[in-house]
Structure 1
Amino acid sequence: MSEPAAPARALLAAVAGDRFTELPYRPTAAHRADEGDAPIGWPGYGAARALAARRSGEAEAVVCGLGRVGGGEAVLIAFEFGFLGGSIGRAVGERIAGALITARELSLPVVSLIASGGSRVQEGMFALAQLQRIATQLVRLRAVGLPHLAVLAGPVTGGGWATLGAGADVRLALPGVQVGFAGARVRPPGADPAAYTAEAQAAIGQVDELVPPGDLGPAVARWLSLLTTPAAGPAPPPAALRSVAAPGTGWAAVELARDPARPRADAYLRAYFTERVALGCPDPGLRCGFGRHAGRAVAYVAQLGTATTPAGFRAATRLLRLADRLSVPVLTLVDTPGAANGAEAERDGVGSAIAESIMAVAAATIPVTTLVIGEGGSGGAVALTSPGRTWVTPDSYYSVVAPESAAAVVKRGPEQVRVTADQLRLRPADLVELGVARGIVPVG
């Protein structure tokens, strides 16, 4: 069982300290003139609102304003769970929409501190329509390249999760909070409560970071800094981390790339970035996130030498599209024998996942830099490769398909795999000569 949600003012203080100014609330003319605070005449609704206001000290279930987070200003939206469970009615929707409009007008990022049970039943369809109103403003925020970071302070269910929560660019959560579309009172009988937690959402990549309450302020500031300080121009390729003699044959290049002692993506990421934050990714063979290189933000996708799964490609696509919206250049580190190709991967849509990743690279308006650091196998590699801006390390190879698979495709026996590797022209020097790679990076 999760702890009760912190009051809105406590959440605001955790993120912005005393540097918060509340925005004024001005109801729309329709709200004032027509149904006011009881749009469908729900019995006792006015009294329930008045009691919630007295108990919580807030006029509504959300508090919106401007705050100083780390070194920059942001629009903050904080839910008050003590006001009717942080539920979203018309006044809440208007306040949130107004805050998102203010963010666009001032070119500021948005931080939502969410503790909400979803749409307010006592307002009927007027409440549900607020999800569309909020979504419209979130789309407009995305269109101008401003980031939206959500903190799931919990519980976060129903429309609170399905709009501001799951719809945010980055999602942080306090450990143990309840997160899921279905609230505890409307789930199927016998539903496993463990599936409706921040930890469960993190396991499937829907939560990017679990943050202890005491670390919330620094974590939000770190994320906002990396999302709003993009590097200018393409990310330079990292230096190679191992010196090796140039392979004389294709098979020798394959053996170098498959050497267990070869530096892997984590070593390259540590050497390249001074700090990093990671987006959620359910594929353990892939890293996605934002880091600081030479003082500015660069996004990254890095393969760890395993067959990339459909979930991994979807995570990479999310990173690429987010970085493009925020004008942050991207570095991809390619190292995979190929995409996962078993029955489970097919059932999970591996072909479409690869297609979306390839198209995300092709559609990017920001520069994408690729370094092949090990195996560059087939579609699993090309899905994350930037044409025209690809480099290779001395201990890598890049091929239309792995030599063993290539021999099988052209109906050759295992004894001809090494000859096939030579014919594939997959060595680093071959790739440069053919124009596939721009160069072999030197050892740093």
Structure 2
Amino acid sequence: MTARELIATVVSGRFTELPQRESVHGARGPIDWDGYDEARARARKRTGESESVVCGVGRAGDTEAVVIAFEFGFLGGSIGEGAGQRVENALITARDLSLPVVSLLASGGSRMQEGMSALAQLQRVARQMVRLREAGLAHVAVLAGPVTGGGWATLGAGADVRLAFPGVQVGFAGSRVRPQGADPSAYTAEGQLAIGQVDALVPPEELGETVADWLALLTTPARGPVAPPRALRAMPLPETGWQAVERARAADRPRADRYLRAFFTRRRPLASVDPGLLCGFGRHQGRTVGYVAQCGTATRPAGFRAATRLLRLADRLSIPVLTLVDTPGAANDEAAERDGVGAAIAEAITAVSASRIPVTTLLIGEGGSGGAVALTSAGHTWVTPDSYYAVLVPERAAALLKRGPEEVPATVEQLRVRPQDLVELGIARGIVGPR
């Protein structure tokens, strides 16, 4: 798709192109590349564009946004001084008008015919992206054509939400510069989705609706901290600590997916390569709330990193967050240690604590050790009647104290893990009742 076709897919109605300044260098560019003027002239004739990028302001759904669209037919959508200047101007305009940004990307990276002047444009773009973030403005990127090199490493991978057309080439190394014999599947949108660098694959016919929905979610936050969801089943409080543990481990207990379905009218997920950790944004009572939900398994380092990304993005956009805690603990196998589980937990704890809008936590099942506390908001935590919270899961706690398996129930009683114990100890603010 051309830049104009991409814009028409996303923008409904009028698109106002931003004014552009001419480059200070002559036709042969900053390093006087022989034949560069003829190559640009051919590109202009072929595409009808004066540069590899088209920038303007338009409305995507109900949200006005600054749109940056790359034309791959113009020297492979490469980024030189002219393109860098246009992107910089577009990002400044977004900040001046307090508008979100949509980048429609099809770029092979830096323009060889401009040498280091082209590579320096990445710093120019990155500087304005930092200022856009500081202003609390959202950035959605669409990987619509080949997106490699600096195009991927700035506007693509640096965006808040990253969408891609199926089958598109995505990666830092383009096809002509990657190592010989490299697996081509690693350089695709599907490959980037598998490692959590792309949030969703979107067919072209669904792009307009998807971008409009994301912009609406990222620009209409709920006001203040959210109230916790109600419990999804009614039951009396547990009489013993071991009964609390058994209820939290019951196969028929409501899990995170049921709580999310009941709480949100619609949701858009962000990438998480840990299947036991869900995160994203959704609609609750007509406004946007972020969510991080554990699904009852040991949370892996990648899950904590996905949670941290969501928490930091939500904080920057002033969107309140709900965390659903349900895990026997953080993964502690050899693979988790090699993947930096301790550092991942530390970043998640810090992200929760640093949030300027209080994070709301609901303990819906098992609350095991550091894996649970990493996503628990101090002073803003509620619990369901079929949950427990422990400094260490019961069996491991007993083993640590050199006690046998038969002493696990007694150990749990000493740890005071029941919902009512957590309220009495000041760990939780209250026990939520049924809907």
Is 2:412 the counterpart of 1:417? no
Superposed CA deviations along residues 157-197 of structure 1, whole A, max 9, x for unmatched, are: 00000000000000000111000000000010000101111
Q: Tell me the amino acid that sits aligned with residue 58 of structure 2.
A: G
Partner of 2:372: 381
Alignment of 1:345 onto 2:340: no
What CA distance in whole angstroms lies between the structure 1 residues aligned with 2:291 and 2:28?
47
Tell me, yes or no, if the aligned pair for 2:27 and 2:36 is still in contact at 8 Å. Answer: no
Question: Which of 29, 48, 60 is 1:69 aligned to?
Answer: 60
User: In structure 1, what is the equivalent of residue 295 of structure 2?
Assistant: 304
Partner AA of 2:80 in structure 1: G
Letter in 2 for 1:152: L
Cα distance in 2 for residues equivalent to 1:154 and 1:8: 10
2:31 is aligned to 40
Give the letter for the 1:266 counterpart: D
For 1:236-285, what per-residue CA distance to the aligned partner results, in whole angstroms no more than 9, with x for missing partners? Answer: 10000011221111000000000000000000000000010000110000
Give the distance between the partners of 1:173 and 1:273, measured in 2 at CA. Answer: 25
1:298 is aligned with what amino acid? Answer: V
Q: Point out where structure 2 has 5 or more consecutive residues left out of the alignment.
A: none
1:3 counterpart residue number: none
Q: How far has the Cα of 1:92 moved from its partner?
A: 0.2
Equivalent of residue 17 in structure 1, options 12, 37, 40: 12
Q: How does 1:432-443 map to 2 (within 5 A)?
A: 432-443=423-434
3-state DSSP of counterpart to 2:117: helix
Q: 1:121 is matched with which residue: 83, 89, 112? A: 112
What is the CA distance between 1:209 and its match in structure 2? 1.0
Q: Answer with 97-106 or 201-210: which moved more.
A: 201-210
Aligned to 1:189: 180
Once the two structures are overlaid, the 10-residue window that deviates more, 93-102 or 196-205, is: 196-205
Instruction: State how 1:109-148 maps to structure 2 within 5 Å.
Output: 109-148=100-139
Displacement of 1:408: 0.9
**1:43 CA drift (Å):** 1.1
Instruction: Report whether the alignment pairs 1:231 with 2:222.
Output: yes
**Residue 408 of structure 1 aligns with which residue?**
399
Tell me the percent identity.
72
TM-score normalised by structure 2 residue count? 0.99
1:372 CA drift (Å): 0.3
Q: 2:347 matched to which residue of 1?
A: 356
Which SS does the other structure have where 1:317 is aligned? helix
In 1, the alpha carbon distance for the partners of 2:65 and 2:200 equals 20
2:78–2:109 contact (8 Å) kept in structure 1: yes
SS of 1:388 mapped into structure 2: coil
Query: Partner amino acid for 1:178?
Result: Q
The aligned counterpart of 2:208 is: 217
CA shift digits 1:315-359 (9 cap, x unpaired):
000000000000000000000000000000000000000000000
> Matches of 2:265 and 2:216 in 1, distance apart?
13
Q: What are the superposed Cα offsets for residues 4-31 of structure 1, whole Å, 9 maximum, x if unpaired?
A: xx1000000000034211101024xxx4
Moved over 4 A (4+): 34-37
Between 414-423 and 16-25, report the one with greater CA deviation: 16-25
Aligned length: 435
Is 1:58 matched with 2:49?
yes
Q: Secondary structure at the match of 1:67?
A: strand
Q: 3-state DSSP class of the match of 1:376?
A: strand
**Residues 109-130 of structure 1, C-alpha deviations (whole Å, 9 max, x = no match):** 0000000000000100000000
Q: 1:424 to 1:102 in 2, by over 3 A?
A: same
Q: Give 3-state SS (helix, strand or coil) of 1:98's partner.
A: helix
* Root-mean-square deviation over aligned CA pairs: 0.8
Following superposition, the deviation at residue 370 of structure 1 comes to 0.1
Helix, strand or coil at the partner of 2:173? coil
In 1: Cα distance, 2:239 partner to 2:13 partner: 65
